[in-house]
């Protein structure tokens, strides 16, 4: 319970022996006097120094490996390594992920985030093997494989407010990218390389209650995330996606309930398809769709606390369970067909 443990010898033959607890202030090791080499009264001593101030320079000063983590996405799991400098106004991230919606296509990415100035500036580079479906001119579903290299810059305006136990965040951002497509194979034919520019507009707005260390999730809050992507050369390729989450307490102290509504629209008649990281209902292969609506509920609870490490690489704090129900509707607009997944 946090008390200091004391011990004292008791006589087995005496019934009047009193156990005395020695407080820290009474212990010899905590007593200090002026004639000792350390300690004594410091209030009558003068500690004054003059320090010169100067501008801080060095963007990469103190840059070191900060952490590595697994991104537990259902659709795009990956591994990331992050480096941060001394003032935490520069971070560099390297990662790799597997897009399960695109037949386990592998991508490699890097991100350079400069937070010294306002707004925040990010530079990104990505190399990916892609596999997408589209609706061909022959009115049939077709598949294409290609290699995509992507460079871009993003500007974000991170805003946050803290009131009591709640942390509210608003993050609008815009990105401009150069997309280079090569090794394009569609319908058994090799197509010419394709270069174009694209943009992404979006925002994240959330308000969440501070989470206790043992909570599997925040016990109260919400989150809204909206993104729009489009080709700058024309409007032939565009995509809209968004989701909203509501966080509620479970039946017991550390349990968590999450309700999610999500939406995505991207026409299959577009020859180029943006990366599909939408989290479809679990248990199905990726549906071919122009538009998808999803509602899901999750109940999370802790099961075990192993508190065991492995080879100095990672540490297993907790094993938890997730009970879920997913309900989704996929639309093929050209075929005027709806399919339900649950």
**pLDDT computed for residue 242 by the predictor:** 96
Q: What structural domains does the chain harbor?
A: 64-341 (2.40.160)
**pLDDT computed for residue 200 by the predictor:** 95
pLDDT in tens, 292-340: 999 999 999 999 999 888 887 788 899 999 999 999 999 998 888 999 9
Q: Which residues contact 317 (CB under 8 A, 6 or more apart)?
A: 305, 306, 307
Measured in whole angstroms, how far is the alpha carbon of residue 54 from the centre of its chain? Answer: 36
Q: Which two tokens stand for residue 50?
A: 């003059």
Q: Based on the number of CB atoms within 10 Å of its own CB, is 12 exposed (0-12), middle (13-18) or buried (19 or more)?
A: exposed
pLDDT in tens, 167-219: 999 999 999 999 999 999 888 788 888 899 999 999 999 999 999 889 999 99
d(CA 21, CA 242): 62
DSSP three-state, residue 250: coil
pLDDT in tens, 131-146: 998 888 767 888 889 9
pTM of this prediction?
0.78
Between 192 and 8, the higher pLDDT residue: 192
């Amino acid at each position: 319970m946090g008390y200091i443990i004391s011990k004292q010898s008791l006589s087995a033959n005496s019934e009047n022996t009193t156990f005395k607890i020695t407080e820290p202030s009474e212990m010899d090791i905590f007593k200090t006097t002026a004639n000792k080499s350390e300690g004594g009264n410091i209030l009558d001593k003068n500690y004054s120094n003059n320090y010169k101030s100067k501008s801080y320079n060095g963007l990469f000063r103190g840059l070191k490996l900060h952490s590595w983590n697994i991104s537990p996405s259902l659709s795009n799991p990956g591994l990331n390594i992050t480096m941060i400098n001394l003032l935490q106004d520069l971070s560099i991230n390297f990662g790799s992920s597997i897009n399960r919606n695109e037949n386990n296509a592998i991508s490699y990415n890097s991100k350079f985030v400069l937070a010294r100035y306002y707004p925040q500036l990010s530079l990104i580079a990505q190399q990916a093997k892609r596999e997408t479906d589209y609706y061909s001119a022959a009115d049939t579903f077709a598949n294409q494989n290609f290699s995509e290299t992507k460079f871009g810059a993003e500007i974000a305006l991170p805003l946050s407010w803290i009131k009591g136990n709640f942390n509210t965040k608003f993050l609008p951002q815009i990105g401009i990218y150069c997309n280079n497509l090569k090794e394009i194979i569609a319908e058994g034919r090799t197509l010419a390389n394709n270069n174009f520019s694209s943009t992404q507009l979006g925002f994240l707005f959330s308000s969440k209650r501070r989470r206790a260390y043992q909570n599997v999730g925040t016990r109260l809050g919400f989150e809204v995330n909206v993104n729009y992507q489009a080709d700058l050369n024309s409007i032939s390729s565009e995509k809209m996606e968004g989701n909203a989450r509501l966080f509620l307490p479970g039946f017991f102290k550390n349990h968590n309930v999450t309700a999610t509504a999500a939406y995505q629209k991207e026409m299959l008649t577009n020859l180029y398809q943006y990366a599909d990281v939408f989290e479809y209902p679990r248990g199905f292969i990726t549906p071919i769709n122009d538009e998808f609506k999803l509602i899901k509920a999750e109940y999370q609870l802790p099961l075990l606390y192993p508190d065991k490490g492995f080879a100095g690489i990672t540490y297993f704090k907790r094993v938890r369970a997730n009970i879920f129900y997913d309900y989704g509707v996929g639309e093929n607009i050209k075929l005027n067909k709806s399919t339900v997944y649950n």
